[in-house]
Chain A
Amino acid sequence: MSSQGSAIPVSSSVTSSVEHERLSWGRYPRVKHRQVWRVEWADQVPSILDHVPPHGLLPYGLGRSYGDCCLNAGGELIDCSSLDRFLAADFDEGWVRCEGGTSLADIIKIIVPRGFFLPVTPGTKFVTVGGAIANDVHGKNHHRRGTFGRHVRRLALCRSGQGTVFCGPDENAELFRATIGGLGLTGVILWAEIQLIPIAGSNINVEVLPFRSLEKFLALTAESDAAFEYTVAWIDCFASRETRGLFFRGNHANTSPSKPARVYTPRIAFPLPKGLLNGFTIKAFNQAYFSWKSWRRGSSIQPYERFFYPLDSIGQWNLLYGRQGFLQYQCVIPESAPALERILQTISQSSMGSFLGVLKRFGAAQSPGLLSFPRPGLTLALDFAMRGESTLQLLQSLDELVLGAGGALYPAKDARMSPAMFEASFPAWRDLRPYIDDKLSSSFWRRVTGTEPS
């Protein structure tokens, strides 16, 4: 029979696989889950929520969070990545309503030919809408449009004991605020309605400007943020004498590529040996990248994939960091603070940084999210291959600098911050607590709030 049905018990209607390990993008920490439920239809969600013990479950999407906020050690996951259908769309007003597991890649594929784009997109398109909301993600246009959560018109949560609850800026507004950046703890996001932006073409007009000091970066960003939709900088955290990097700024162009983008993407098949990414190779890469781009400075027209998602062109690039995985460190600090200089110094002295250093100035646009990470200031994101205690110690010392400057760390990228650091970054976390669904919890939440599952 067509293998579906309404009144089938959970065990036969839903895929549960214990064999499939679920990791986060950083592949650290590695934890065991008691059970992973795979749902293919939204009508299967309530029965799973009802079955699990309190604090036992966490929604999981495409696993692109870096640390442990998409993991639930010892508990269960509900893998929503197959809840990926479009439920409604209006291409006059420019919005789509899609299920929580729909990837941004899927949305882009549908909306770009119709002359729309996502109002906010992170550096990878392989995240789900549910995950983008739960982490209130941001992009290169934060200074203009703020976070993803600001463009959510309405969403539906499946909550234990309550069934489906709708919320939006004007409807259950408190629950809505808790859900934006709510780390997936306020209920399973069944669907969300996203406001889109109109574009004249899918290409991006890009300008690349090399800089050789932090002051130059600040001047560039101050000058560009008003006139450019997208601004971001790559920094070379191995250049010890100077802070050098490349400043990228761009706007939507009114042209589209004449031929469709290349479909073939190479894929890294296995974790590379850990010696391969070392100080020497990264330094060489950074030098080459900086020189190449400095030579090719100036304006160009790029397809949007290349501008927004350069790393998506290498499948599973996280395996570059080898078996032990990696940690990403993303902090935001108030712009006035000289702490950024010291943070960069500490990193370059440690020689443990990597080639993916990103610097951006956040704007003042306030997110509705209670636990939203972006706030006015400078944000720095950097990868560190996991090399055990020494890596953790370095990040610990960075924590102190960030804390001293009144900054914050990004939960979506964190696997190790202390409860004290979390308290300082997100004093509002206690206000989130009343909205958390009894059945939901995550490794991250238990770690940073110092609570263990009952």
Chain B
Amino acid sequence: MKRIIVLGATSGIAEAVERKMAAGRHELLLVARSPERLAVLREDLLIRGATQVLTFVADFDSPADCVRLFDFARQSFPDFDTVLLAYGSMPDQEQCKHSIDLTARQLHTDFVSAACILTLFADYLEERKTGCLAVITSVAGDRGRRSNYVYGSAKGGLSHFLEGLRARLHASGVRVITIKPGPVDTKMTAHLPRDTSFASPMRVASDIYRSLQRGRPDILYTPRYWRYVMLCVRALPEWIFKRQHKI
């Protein structure tokens, strides 16, 4: 049985993973912005089998909230061993393109705030020499695309941050898992036209849950075939890549 903290617990992917965790009878601390939705989620997961479910209301954009959350976790949910960071937002690139404000806010939510909160949890786990930090980034972070480079760069930055963190924590035995889903059929991607590349949250969740159980791999592409797709995409030379209008 694990003690798991889920950051961004009301997101589509997170909820699907939480149901797996509940069925596995783990103990959970759920963190999100909406107290009403957290309350609904808590009851649901308890009925689905979770041993214990705590909730905490926090806005990850606010550093003060992050610190409050960390203190709460240490005091009320001690000895937690797994942290899943599942929040994120996908901006409308068209709007971001010419707005300093939107771009800055986006980078803050998807990269800066995540890096800050991971710093707090990394220190805690490193000291205890055990545990697992799993963070949902995106295949979009593997390459800067014209259609989505603000989101992509934030997620790419986060992936790099995790790469460094993994190396740092390796000696202490703390696992760091970078989760890179392809497009998933959730409310974050609501504004995008659906095509066959969209995976269901359940599919992605079972991959994530399995990797949390095992503490590996370092980088999880889900569904799995994205590993090979991105291998090809990354291999495209820049002089070709910059001329691609569709991606």
Which positions in A face B, CB cutoff 8 Å? Answer: 1-6, 12-17, 19-20, 38, 40-43, 85-89, 96, 110
Contacts and interface: CB of A to CB of B under 8 A. Distances in A.
Nearest to B36: A43
B9 A3 contact: no
B190 A2 contact: no
A22 to B, nearest CB: 12
Contacts of A96: 47
B205 to A, nearest CB: 14
Contact of B48 (A2, A13, A19, A110): A110
A16 B9 contact: no
Nearest to A113: B49
Contact of B109 (A1, A4, A15): A1
Contacts of B188: 3
A19 B193 contact: yes
A148 B237 CA distance: 61
26 contacts: A1-B87, A1-B89, A1-B109, A2-B7, A2-B8, A2-B9, A2-B86, A3-B88, A3-B89, A3-B187, A4-B10, A6-B34, A13-B187, A14-B187, A15-B186, A15-B187, A17-B190, A19-B194, A38-B190, A40-B187, A41-B37, A85-B40, A86-B43, A88-B43, A96-B47, A110-B48
Contact of B47 (A13, A40, A42, A110): A110
Nearest to B194: A19
Interface in B173-211: 186-188, 190-191, 193-195
Contact of B190 (A14, A41, A43, A87): A14
Nearest to A6: B34
A17 B32 CA distance: 26
B105 to A, nearest CB: 9
Contacts of A3: 8, 11, 87-90, 187-188
B109 to A, nearest CB: 5
B12 A40 contact: yes
8 shortest A-B CB distances, which residue pairs? A15-B190, A2-B8, A85-B44, A2-B87, A86-B47, A19-B194, A2-B32, A3-B188
A86 B48 contact: yes
B146 to A, nearest CB: 22
Contact of B10 (A2, A20, A88): A2
A134 to B, nearest CB: 22
| B interface majority secondary structure | loop
Contact of B60 (A2, A13, A14, A20): A2
A87 B11 contact: no
A195 to B, nearest CB: 16
B59 interface: yes
A4 B186 CA distance: 12
Contact of A16 (B37, B44, B190): B190
A16 B194 CA distance: 11
A12 B194 CA distance: 16
Interface string B23-63: 00000000011101100110110011100000000011100
Interface string B72-106: 00000000000000111110000000000000000
A89 B47 contact: yes
Contacts of B37: 4, 41, 43
Contacts of B9: 2
A239 to B, nearest CB: 42
Contacts of B59: 1
Nearest to A88: B43
Nearest to B32: A2
A40 B47 CA distance: 19
Given A1-B89, A3-B8, A14-B187, 19 more contacts: A1-B60, A2-B7, A2-B8, A2-B9, A2-B10, A2-B32, A3-B11, A3-B88, A3-B187, A4-B34, A4-B37, A15-B186, A17-B193, A19-B193, A19-B194, A43-B36, A85-B41, A87-B40, A87-B44
Contacts of A4: 10-11, 32-34, 37, 187
Contacts of A14: 187, 190
Contacts of A87: 40, 43-44
A96 B48 CA distance: 12
Nearest to A85: B44
Contacts of A16: 190
Nearest to B113: A1
B111 to A, nearest CB: 12
B122 to A, nearest CB: 20
Contacts of A19: 193-195
Nearest to A84: B44
A20 B48 CA distance: 30
A73 to B, nearest CB: 21
Contacts of A89: 47
Interface string B134-157: 000000000000000000000000
B190 to A, nearest CB: 4
A255 B9 CA distance: 38
Given A14-B190, A20-B194, A2 B33 contact: yes
B195 to A, nearest CB: 8
Most chain B beta-carbon contacts within 10 A, residue among A15, A43, A87, A88 = A15
